[in-house]
């Protein structure tokens, strides 16, 4: 089904603003829904997709803009955006998740494949992937347990959210004010000595070790994953 305007899209909605289709949606504009968006096929968009509720497809979800949902975003195939992907709830797929912007969820982020973002990744829940996880930006991690990743992981640095900085300041004895681009170089000055201390938990040590990536280029495998996903985004949007 081809959607050329918001008005075309609104004709599909019920009285509550929900759109439920049995076929694929080929959207040629920016669209927004007052409720949820659900289809048994694919969702392909030339612009932004947003919904106050969930966005779900049995196939893939791909857009040249952003994907934003107040609820969950879920797909049977890949979820990809040339912009950012944001969900107030969970982001989940049986395929890959990729974005040129941020990937952010108030809940969990899970994929049967890979997860990649050219900006950052943040979650209020867990991250789970059967494949690899790559972000050229920061991976914000608020939990005591490490991410549940079967493959490899590479990020600019794995950092705590802002509300945990006071705790990390006490643990590292390093001032944690300002942006992470200023904080991480302070930590790196003493990192080797700090890591000799046996007090660090598995996750704390993992996060501190990741600071070594701060000024580093992604390894070849990570670059290849980002390139592959960019080509997939272009092919399906």
What predicted TM-score, i.e. pTM, was given to this entire model?
A: 0.92
CA separation, residue 36 to residues 28, 50, 103, 193 (Å): 19, 9, 20, 52
Q: Is there a contact between 19 and 36 (Cβ–Cβ < 8 Å)?
A: yes
* Sequence spans of domains, the chain: 2-236
pLDDT of residue 230: 76
How many angstroms separate the most distant Cα atoms in the chain?
Answer: 64
- Mean pLDDT value across residues 54-74: 97
**DSSP E strands: which ranges in 131-174?**
133-140, 148-149, 153-159
Is the per-residue pLDDT at 237 higher than 70? no
DSSP run (H or E) holding 6 = helix 6-10
pLDDT tens figures, 19-50: 999 999 999 999 999 999 999 999 999 999 99
């Amino acid at each position: 089904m081809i959607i050329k305007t918001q008005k075309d899209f609104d004709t599909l909605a019920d009285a509550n603003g929900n759109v439920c289709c049995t076929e694929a949606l080929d959207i040629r504009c920016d669209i927004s829904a007052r409720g949820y968006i659900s289809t048994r096929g694919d969702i392909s968009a030339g612009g932004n997709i947003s919904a106050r509720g969930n966005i779900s497809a049995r196939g893939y979800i791909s857009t040249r803009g952003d994907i934003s949902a107040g609820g969950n975003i879920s797909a049977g195939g890949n979820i990809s955006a040339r912009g950012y992907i944001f969900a107030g709830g969970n982001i989940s797929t049986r395929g890959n998740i990729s974005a040129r912007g941020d990937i952010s969820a108030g809940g969990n982020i899970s994929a049967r494949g890979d997860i990649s973002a050219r900006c950052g990744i943040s979650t209020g829940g867990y991250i789970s992937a059967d494949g690899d996880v790559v972000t050229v930006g920061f991976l914000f991690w608020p939990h005591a347990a490490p991410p549940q990743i079967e493959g490899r992981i590479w990020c600019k640095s794995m950092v705590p959210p802002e509300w945990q900085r006071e705790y990390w300041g006490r643990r590292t004895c390093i001032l944690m004010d300002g942006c992470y681009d200023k904080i991480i170089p302070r930590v790196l000055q003493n990192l080797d000595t700090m890591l000799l201390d046996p007090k660090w938990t598995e996750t704390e040590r993992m996060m501190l070790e990741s600071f070594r990536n701060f000024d580093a280029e992604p390894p070849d495998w990570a670059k290849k994953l980002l390139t592959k996903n960019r080509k997939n985004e272009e092919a399906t949007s």
